[in-house]
Amino acid sequence: MARPYRPGPKQFVFTVGDGDDREVSVADSQEAYWAFAAFFRERESDTYTIEDTSAKQRLVLMPRLGVISRFGYGDQPRSEHLRVDTVNRYVPAAGLFFENGYAGLDRFGQWFPDLSDLDLAPEARGAARAATFTTEAAALEETARIWADSGIVDPSGRYHVFFDSHGVDDDRAERAELLQLIEFLGLERAEPPAGAAGGEVWVRSAPRLDAECARWA
């Protein structure tokens, strides 16, 4: 059950740039999610904006560009941008924003402070993202985030499989990031077994990796 907003209700404004703005007053994040999901389905637009004026935060979804942007415009303005590949990422992003605002999307994917970074080739984008993690704790947490999004533990329990059943053309930016993080952390890659999908990355289990991934499972 969604946690009620306190103080509540909370107001959000949904816009698509055609003047047909919708202001909603909702008791909790689940109610906000369903209201926006209906708004999103009813329209076909280049840009969808969710405004939380009380928190001075904004989420912008741009399906035609394949981009999600988040903005905080309080005393310390900030913004970050994310490249997404599938349309089913937009409404879940909104759901995280309704739950915990700007910070709710921290672990949603590869955020970059400069919109132009999203124009880099996927491998360059992944390498740039990996370079931002300079401590073992942060790198391990990011590795576990990537695993939690599309990974499994193989039946033997000896390996963490990243990008389970994915092809080599999928997840190129995150795979490039992961490979650098594995090297930084000194984890051991393993040869995938015969019949494994071409995009899978197999990593030998280690206590610190096991513990961090268990937190995300």
Question: Could you tell me if 118 and 83 are in contact, meaning their C-beta atoms sit under 8 angstroms apart?
Answer: yes
Condensed to tens digits (0 to 9), the pLDDT of residues 30-77 reads 999 999 999 999 998 999 999 999 999 999 999 999 999 999 998 889
Q: Report percent pLDDT > 70 for the chain.
A: 100
164-188: average pLDDT: 96
Answer whether 12's CB lies under 8 Å from 50's CB. Answer: yes
User: Can you give the pLDDT at residue 125?
Assistant: 94
Band of pLDDT at residue 8, cut at 50, 70 and 90: confident
When pLDDT is averaged across residues 142-154 and rounded to a whole number, the result is: 94
More confident residue, 201 or 7: 201
- Per-residue pLDDT band at 100 (split at 50, 70, 90): very high
What is the rounded distance in angstroms from the CA atom of residue 9 to the CA atom of residue 75? 24
Residue pair 201/213 in contact by the 8 Å Cβ criterion: no
Q: What is the pLDDT of residue 97?
A: 98
